[in-house]
Structure 1
């Protein structure tokens, strides 16, 4: 009986904590579990970001660096305006936007929570206009606005500790936050520092990113050709079921389906 009561107590606690930690993604309205406070996420991500930037050589291309900053600021401003107009002004305080271009041949970019965006020089080789760069930066801004890193941290907590000791793990999560953050952020990992989001997160960021770039005055139609260039320049493809990203075919198809609605609504 005591064992049963203990199990029921832990289970009830877990359910209550999960309900208390539920939120919804701006724009899409998708429900998500967020067990980590914004303050903890921002603190741990800033530590990771600062450590990375100390070792990452900044690009010497003044023209491309200015392009990254110009496009980033326009999308950030449009995103903040959207949040304020939709009753989410309180979220704006979580962002201290920074836009950096680093000297790295990888075709990649990432955004840490809090709006710390880094673009690699390798990606700029595929970018021919502000509109195309807006596809990338809009996508990365969307990851931050949707709190995908917080969601991933929460998933890690649930996966590592399980329902039986969920209460204990959450009460001590500050002590374990650095270890969890290292897994989620992946800074210094073999395949770069892009957050290992799930396919669902990547598709959501694609959709939201198109909306944010549209709000900022950029042409979302270029996204189709840009992702085709990304696909053509890629290395050996990993099957979608084994990847954190949707397949190129699925990604381009989803964007084609979403564009008419986005252009008519926003």
Structure 2
């Protein structure tokens, strides 16, 4: 009976943690709270990473971002975007309507249409409220694991630390990372539709990701927050076919 109670506790905790993977799951933080977090992170990045002095990069980002925001029905005066000096081929979006693109990404996204694939993706993250979803998912997983640890401690279960560690890894690889990958693919879908609405050729998203595939080495997909390039290219081909 004791072992059945322990297993029931573990299974109930796993089920509760699994709720954070639902696309329509509730958020645990308000839009204002998440926006404040994003602005704090933006300020920290500005202090730690130098702004690019490449005027051509910044002008191109200005041109593309404004065109996409207009197509999205957004007021561009409420958004901020910046090229940062870093060789990494990366870009990010933060709640509070902040978009950063590294100079390494500007080199790979060498045309306006390819850059629109990057920026449209980041705008889509913010419009879909993915920031709040990810914060809520992380909070829910931490709460669930804390409850489980307390339950195991109350029953003086042997191997409590090992059980908690194993379940923590299970949550990370089985719930939070796939949840992030779903967000990424949703942002691809919304971002490509936005590219099309802004008059950019959506097929530029394919040429961009083909370049990214050649430029980057990847961990196994199940260990990453983003889809593998081949997975992403296949998904984008299907999205474009449906436009």
TM-score (norm 2): 0.74
- 1:162 equivalent in structure 2: 144
Deviates more, 1:247-256 or 1:31-40: 31-40
2:195 maps to 1:239: no
1:17-28 equivalences in 2 (<5 Å): none
- 2:9 equivalent in structure 1: none
- 1:55 equivalent in structure 2: 48
**Deviation digits for residues 125-144 of structure 1 (CA, Å, limit 9, x no counterpart):** 11221100000000111111
TM-score (norm 1): 0.68
- 1:120 equivalent in structure 2: 102
Q: Distance in 2 between matches of 1:219 and 1:115?
A: 25
**Deviation digits for residues 184-241 of structure 1 (CA, Å, limit 9, x no counterpart):** xxxxxxxxxxxx9711111111111101111111111111111010000112x21111
**Deviation digits for residues 18-65 of structure 1 (CA, Å, limit 9, x no counterpart):** 9xxxxx9xxxxx524212111111111111111211232111111111
For this pair of structures, how many residues does the alignment match? 196
**Deviation digits for residues 149-192 of structure 1 (CA, Å, limit 9, x no counterpart):** 10011112211112997xxxxxxxxxxxxxxxxxxxxxxxxxxx
- Asked if 2 retains the 8 angstrom alpha-carbon contact of 1:197 and 1:245, the reply is no
Q: CA deviation at 1:253?
A: 0.4
- 1:77 equivalent in structure 2: 70
- Asked if 1 retains the 8 angstrom alpha-carbon contact of 2:84 and 2:100, the reply is yes
- 2:7 equivalent in structure 1: none
Report runs of 4+ in structure 1 exceeding 3 Å deviation: none
Change (3 A) 1:197 1:78: farther
- 1:228 equivalent in structure 2: 210
1:33-112 equivalences in 2 (<5 Å): 33-80=26-73, 96-112=78-94
- 2:199 equivalent in structure 1: 217
- Asked if 1 retains the 8 angstrom alpha-carbon contact of 2:36 and 2:95, the reply is no
Q: Which runs of 5+ in 2 are unaligned?
A: 1-11, 148-177
2:230 maps to 1:258: no
Q: CA deviation at 1:111?
A: 0.7
> RMSD across aligned C-alpha pairs, in angstroms?
2.7
- Asked if 1 retains the 8 angstrom alpha-carbon contact of 2:37 and 2:95, the reply is no
1:122-137 equivalences in 2 (<5 Å): 122-137=104-119
Q: CA deviation at 1:260?
A: 2.1
